[in-house]
């Protein structure tokens, strides 16, 4: 975790200097360093799993993702404030990056002071398998323990990410929206996700198996996308986005719990890293396919999103492996 945070700090500093020196090379170097050390969230999930019993696992992951959601909402706002010279004359394009670097440094200090890793410490003579960063996701899809939920999660993430990013374009063209009106969709997503991740504990208290809550969460997401295509009312589409992301929060949190249950306690970090890699892969695929699908018809990407989510849920419904993790 500390290595990742130091990489994030160095990446932001180098990128900030790239703006000052007008260097594309520094931008590339800074982003590569940050990208190679961007496993913060996966490691944090593993730490959460190591620190809590099984019956609290989904809700603690939900709280963590809630904090991430707040950061996603607050980050652009703070970035805009620190970018504009109206607040302080010395601010420039590099200012938000220096602020981000400062926040990373504060996070490092806080982690060193306040966090005690419940897992066994790495021995001083134990080498770090750097190449495993490039092979872990392959091993994940090859692993009998998590292969099916991981493939399902990949399909679900492609569908969700495409809906999340393409819907603004769909609404802009279908309803001739622009500016603030189109941004309301992202605000609706933020509201739904925030309340959703905070309420994961309620669903966990019901005692329903993780796989059923995953199916329920992503199933409602697919239904809300379908309703958005069929019902030609902008206000309702915004409301559907709130419901969709509220239930997505349940599906995502319990999917992480489901995957973590399939591996031994000493493999939690690997499992969460593989899941995060699958999510990143799904995001990349979604961004690539949306434009070609939109050339077929305006609503085509959304129909494909529904199909991908349905396929992911069917695949998950066939999964019947019993939990392995003892926590």
How does DSSP classify residue 84?
Answer: -
Provide the pLDDT confidence category of residue 80 given band limits of 50, 70 and 90.
low
Overall average pLDDT of the 222-231 stretch: 97
DSSP class of residue 264?
Answer: -
The confidence score (pLDDT) of residue 163 equals 96
Q: What is the mean pLDDT of residues 185-210?
A: 88
**pLDDT classification of 324: cutoffs 50, 70, 90:** low
Q: Give the CA distances from residue 209 to residues 216, 221, 236, in Å, rounded to whole numbers and listed in that order.
A: 11, 19, 31
- Under 8 Å CB-to-CB from 187, ≥6 apart: which residues? none
How much of the chain, in percent, has pLDDT values that exceed 70?
83
Assign 90 a pLDDT band (cuts: 50, 70, 90).
low
What is the structure's pLDDT at 168? 87
When mean pLDDT is compared across 121-130, 164-173, 214-223, the lowest value belongs to 121-130
Of 9-23, 173-187, 277-291, where does mean pLDDT reach its minimum?
Answer: 173-187
DSSP of 111-170: HHHH----SPPPPTTPPP-TTHHHHHHHHHHH-TTTHHHHHHHHHHHHHHHHHHHHHHHH
How many residues are recorded in the chain?
327
Q: How confident is the model at residue 306 (pLDDT cuts 50, 70, 90)?
A: very high
| CATH architecture, domain defined by 135-317 | Up-down Bundle (1.20)
Q: What is the pTM of this model?
A: 0.75
Answer with the residue of higher pLDDT: 64 or 302. Answer: 302
249: CB partners within 8 A, 6+ apart = 62, 65, 192, 193, 195, 196, 197, 199, 200, 217
| Positive or negative torsion for Cα 20, 22, 23, 24 | positive
Cα 304 to the center of its chain, rounded Å: 21
Domain boundaries, the chain: 2-114, 135-317
How far CA 250 is from CA of 46, 77, 163, in Å, comes to: 18, 27, 17
**Res. 226: pLDDT tops 90:** yes
Question: Is residue 124 scored above 50 in pLDDT?
Answer: no
| Cβ neighbours, 10 Å, residue 319 | 16
Q: Once rounded to an integer, what is the mean pLDDT over residues 109-119? A: 76
Token pair 């504060």 is found at 106
For residue 141, pLDDT over 60 is answered with yes
pLDDT at 6: 87
Residue 253 CA to residue 233 CA, distance in Å, equals: 30
Contact 221, 167 (CB under 8 A): no
Three-point CA angle 263, 265, 266, nearest 5°: 100
């Amino acid at each position: 975790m500390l290595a990742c945070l130091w990489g994030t700090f160095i990446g932001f500093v180098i990128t900030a200097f790239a703006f000052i020196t007008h260097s594309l090379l520094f931008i590339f170097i800074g982003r590569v360093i940050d990208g190679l050390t961007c496993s913060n969230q996966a490691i944090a999930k593993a730490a959460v799993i190591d620190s809590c019993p099984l019956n609290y696992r989904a809700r603690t992951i939900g709280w963590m993702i809630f904090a991430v959601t707040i950061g996603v909402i607050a980050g652009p706002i703070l970035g805009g404030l620190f970018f504009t010279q109206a607040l302080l004359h010395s601010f420039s394009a590099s200012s938000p990056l220096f602020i981000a670097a400062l926040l990373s440094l504060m996070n490092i200090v806080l982690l060193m002071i306040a966090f005690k890793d419940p897992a066994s410490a790495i021995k001083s003579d134990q080498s770090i398998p750097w190449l495993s960063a490039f092979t872990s996701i392959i091993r994940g899809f090859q692993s009998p323990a998590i292969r099916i939920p991981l493939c399902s999660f990949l399909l679900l993430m492609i569908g969700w990410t495409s809906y999340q990013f393409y819907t603004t374009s769909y609404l802009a063209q279908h309803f001739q929206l622009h500016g603030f009106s189109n941004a309301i969709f992202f605000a609706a997503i933020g509201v739904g996700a925030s309340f959703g991740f905070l309420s994961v504990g309620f669903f966990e208290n019901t005692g329903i198996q993780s796989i059923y809550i995953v199916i329920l969460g992503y199933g409602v997401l697919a239904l809300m996308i379908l309703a958005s295509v069929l019902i030609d009312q902008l206000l309702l589409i915004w409301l559907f986005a709130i419901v969709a992301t509220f239930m997505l929060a349940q599906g995502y949190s319990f999917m992480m719990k489901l995957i973590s249950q399939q591996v031994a306690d000493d493999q939690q970090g690997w499992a969460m890293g593989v899941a995060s890699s699958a999510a990143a892969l799904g995001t990349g695929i979604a961004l690539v396919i949306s434009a070609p699908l939109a050339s077929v018809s305006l609503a085509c990407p959304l129909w494909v999103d529904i199909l991908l989510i349905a396929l992911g849920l069917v695949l998950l419904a066939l999964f019947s492996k019993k939990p392995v993790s003892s926590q």
